[in-house]
């Protein structure tokens, strides 16, 4: 699935276990599974599916208020914070 998305985005180069396993001498061909994905004309991700609700998601959704300690805090101070 991920390789199909990468293909649809127009990314022309890649690496990873799905393309070819690590070897002393780099492989000159990719796995047959990877070749099938790259040769497929099936679209992996349709634009309308990706855009649904994208405006409702902002960086503020990632924000978490967390306790902090001064730079010179000891390990005991940190332990006390987590207990």
CA 56 to chain centre: 21
Polymer length in residues for the chain: 83
Supply the pTM of this predicted model. 0.46
Q: How many CA atoms lie within 13 A of 14 on its CB side?
A: 22
The region, left, alpha or beta by phi > 0 then psi within -120 to 50, assigned to residue 49 is alpha
Query: What pLDDT score was predicted for residue 49?
Result: 52
pLDDT tens for 17-76 read 888 888 888 788 888 888 898 899 888 776 665 555 556 667 777 788 889 999 999 999
Residue 81: per-residue pLDDT: 93
* Measured distance CA(38)–CA(3) in Å, rounded: 8
pLDDT of amino acid 14: 84
Q: Provide the pLDDT for residue 75.
A: 96
Q: Quick one: pLDDT at residue 60?
A: 77
Q: How far is it, in rounded angstroms, from Cα 49 to Cα 38?
A: 21
């Amino acid at each position: 699935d991920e390789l199909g998305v990468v293909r649809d985005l127009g990314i022309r180069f890649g690496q990873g276990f799905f393309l070819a396993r690590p070897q002393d001498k780099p492989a000159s061909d990719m796995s047959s599974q990877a070749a099938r994905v790259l040769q497929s004309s099936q679209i992996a991700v349709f634009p309308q599916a990706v855009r649904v609700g994208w405006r409702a998601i902002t960086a503020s959704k990632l924000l978490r208020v967390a306790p902090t300690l001064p730079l010179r805090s000891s390990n005991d101070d940190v332990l006390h914070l987590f207990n």
